[in-house]
Structure 1
Amino acid sequence: MSVPTLPAAPRDSGDAWVFGQDGSKFWGRFGAAGLLVCDEARGVLLQHRAAWSHHGGTWGLPGGARHDGESATHAALREANEEAGVPAAALRVIGESVFDKGFWSYTTVIAEVIEHFDAVISDPESIALEWVHPADVELRPLHPGFAAAWPALRLRLPGAAAG
């Protein structure tokens, strides 16, 4: 898969909670997406979530709510740029993993670094950004959704980065 060009984001923000019949809640009226960025030399990019955010204080992926009509890949790239300064042009998208509840979905877009960049905290949703060796990811307090998905996601990392 190649990196798509990023057109202007759709106007309609999906920033809202979606509630399941069992009372569970998920962020993103049109679903959500996150970006699993892998650099063979540095590991995977993790975001330490601000205390005020849902599951605050945990580590996860840059990501967030999709806009109406926005593809998961575009949403993941947009959110990672907004939250961590990740430039889409420095990545090659290599796959997706979808968690689908029927009424809501979360797509993890997997990308490898093809041009070095430094991640920077660029909005208040992050308190830290760190490159973490895949073998050390589970040593951190992870966002519950990411913790559940990580074992399968790790197997999809390219080459030596899977650790």
Structure 2
Amino acid sequence: MTGLISGFERLADHDGHAGLKRAAVAITVVEHPRGGGELAFVLTRRARTLRSHGGQWALPGGRCDPGETIVQAALREVSEEIGLALSADAVLGVLDDYPTRSGYLMTPVVVWAGDPRAIVPNPAEVASVHFIPLAHVAREDIVSFVTIPESPRQVIRLWIDDDHIHAPTAAVIYQFREVLAGRDTRVHELEQPVFAWK
């Protein structure tokens, strides 16, 4: 896994994204709590009390503070949301930027956290923490693409934890899964459902 992530060649910065605010999300890889050597990544359900996207599925992440790099922002958000203090040495790689309909250029940072027992969710931001096995996201039957009247682009959906997850989170997870499979799949053109456009 480490070589596939560190060897991933990101798309060059796209023209036309200059007006978007920078944000980072962390794909936090851990040993699955049930043991057996299985790996998983951390997915959260956002607290319903949050002003934007309350109750939705999310990776730990948020807007970059002034002067902060993407990696610094991702590590800070991991600390603030799920209580893990990780150093830059934990970073395995960075995936493609994803432009969101809500005005952000979101950059996924893949980090290795190891032991999931150190995770302590912040109840002000996180309603629940879920460990999604990497073997689950490798399955073909969890991915679907649909069309909507509002856009010519395909909307991606992933079936995870008995629910559909949509872009931007679904797009990021989908590219992560494709990189792990050795496929060079780009996701910046995948669409979000209309409810996520604000």
Unaligned runs of 5+ in 2: 3-19, 32-37, 138-157, 183-198
RMSD over equivalenced CA pairs, Å: 2.9
Matching of residue 110 in structure 1 with residue 110 in structure 2: yes
Identity of matched residues, %: 28
Residue of structure 2 in register with 1:155 after alignment: 178
Q: Which amino acid aligns with 1:36?
A: I
Q: State which drifts further: 104-113 or 63-72.
A: 104-113
Residue of structure 1 in register with 2:61 after alignment: 63
Q: 1:123 to 1:78 in 2, by over 3 A?
A: farther
The structure whose RCO (Cα within 8 Å, separation 6+) is larger is 1
1:10-89 superposed matches below 5 A: 30-40=21-31, 41-53=38-50, 54-89=52-87
Residue of structure 2 in register with 1:10 after alignment: none
Q: 1:99 to 1:59 in 2, by over 3 A?
A: same
How many equivalent pairs are there?
A: 131
Displacement of 1:157: 4.5
* 1:28-81 per-position Cα deviation (integer Å, ceiling 9, x unaligned): x84111110112534001111112332222221111110111100000000110
Q: Give the TM-score normalised by structure 1.
A: 0.67
Check conservation: 2:71, 2:88, Cα contact below 8 A: no
Displacement of 1:148: 2.4
Radius of gyration: which is bigger?
A: 2
Aligned-partner SS, 1:31: strand
Q: 1:89 to 1:130 in 2, by over 3 A?
A: same
Matching of residue 138 in structure 1 with residue 137 in structure 2: no
How far, CA to CA, are the matches of 1:149 and 1:73 in structure 2? 16
